[in-house]
Structure 1
Amino acid sequence: MTDDQKQRLTANIHRVADVIAFMTNIGCVLIGAIMTIVVIAGVVARYVMQNPMVWTEEIARMAMIWTAYLGMSIAVRRRGHLGVLYFVQKLPVVLQRVVKLFTDSLILIFLYILIVNGVKMVIAAQIQIEPATGIIMSYPFLIVPLSGVLMMIQHGLVMLVDILRWGTPTSPFEPAA
């Protein structure tokens, strides 16, 4: 593969990852706005009208969980996850790349396990119902496998870009030499 082909492929991968991140951002903003409105409505109903709406706590909790899980996908796209680089950066560049590929592969394995167990959790939660809203708990739990898929896609795309850029000095993800 020529350098020009690698650059075009890398640009296309970034476009796909950016579209996924943009849509995820929109989801986070919308769900965050819903959470804010529901919490404000709950506070006003409880303290101003002296007539609490019990369903607001359940909806706000679900919205916060969904926002957090969607936010993890955005963090994966930006490589915002926690990493300890001190010792890795002391290694030769070739070993740094091997360690990075190994740890990235471990992350993909973890995400696969998250997706599989998330699906099991969604299936198991079909019999559980939220008391105030009557929502089947499968719906709130659906974010676990969904975010796992989003994170796996984003992480896979970031890994692919890393592999395509190995050996180039312009790589933003290249470990320090």
Structure 2
Amino acid sequence: MQYKNSLIRVVVKLDSILGSLINTVAVLLLTLIFILGLAQVFWRFVLNHPIVWSEEMIRLAYVWICYLGWIIAERADSHIRITALSNRLPKEMQKWLQVFCHLLTILFSVLMVIYGGRLIGAGAK
């Protein structure tokens, strides 16, 4: 039993560290978008010499913020949901519905990885 408790503590600590890292990276990417956006406007309209790579970098950072935001919202259990039906269910059914929704989320994530990988492979040809 001692081993199980120490393993749980390690997993909880790793989860906490990973959550902090994800939040930090999301904040840094948002800061990068803001600074690059300002720099792009300044160089384009004031210096009349636009930064060529800034739009691509902003777009890529935005995509990663969307992915990280999905993770942050999932960890906080704060995704948008319609609860009119689920609130009327008994507590036991609500738990099973939540498990079902998490399984659907995992399935969707796996499908995104599979078909995203196929799209990347097709785009590389």
Aligned to 2:88: 90
Alignment partners' CA distance in 1, 2:23 and 2:120: 24
Aligned to 1:55: 53
Equivalent position SS for 2:44: helix
Pick closer, same or farther for the CA change 1:97–1:8 going to 2, 3 Å: farther
Equivalent position SS for 2:20: helix
TM-score by length of 2: 0.81
TM-score by length of 1: 0.60
Q: How much does 1:13 deviate? A: 4.5
Q: How much does 1:38 deviate? A: 1.7
Q: How much does 1:122 deviate? A: 2.7
Q: Is the contact between residue 75 and residue 81 of structure 1 (CA under 8 Å) also seen in structure 2?
A: yes
- Comparing 95-104 and 117-126, the one that deviates more: 117-126
Equivalent position SS for 1:80: coil
Q: Is the contact between residue 17 and residue 77 of structure 1 (CA under 8 Å) also seen in structure 2?
A: no
Aligned to 1:64: 62
Pick closer, same or farther for the CA change 1:116–1:60 going to 2, 3 Å: same
Q: How much does 1:12 deviate? A: 5.0
Deviations 1:144-170 (A, max 9, x none): xxxxxxxxxxxxxxxxxxxxxxxxxxx
Pick closer, same or farther for the CA change 1:96–1:9 going to 2, 3 Å: farther
Aligned to 2:72: 74
| Structure 1 unmatched ranges of 5 or more | 128-177
Amino acid at match of 2:120: V
* Correspondent of 2:104 among 78, 103, 106: 106
- Comparing 27-36 and 60-69, the one that deviates more: 27-36
Q: How much does 1:67 deviate? A: 1.3
Q: How much does 1:24 deviate? A: 1.0
Q: How much does 1:118 deviate? A: 2.0
Q: Equivalent residues in 2 for 1:1-177 (5 A)?
A: 12-126=10-124
| Alpha-carbon RMSD | 2.5
| Structure 2 unmatched ranges of 5 or more | none
Amino acid at match of 1:118: G
Q: How much does 1:74 deviate? A: 0.8
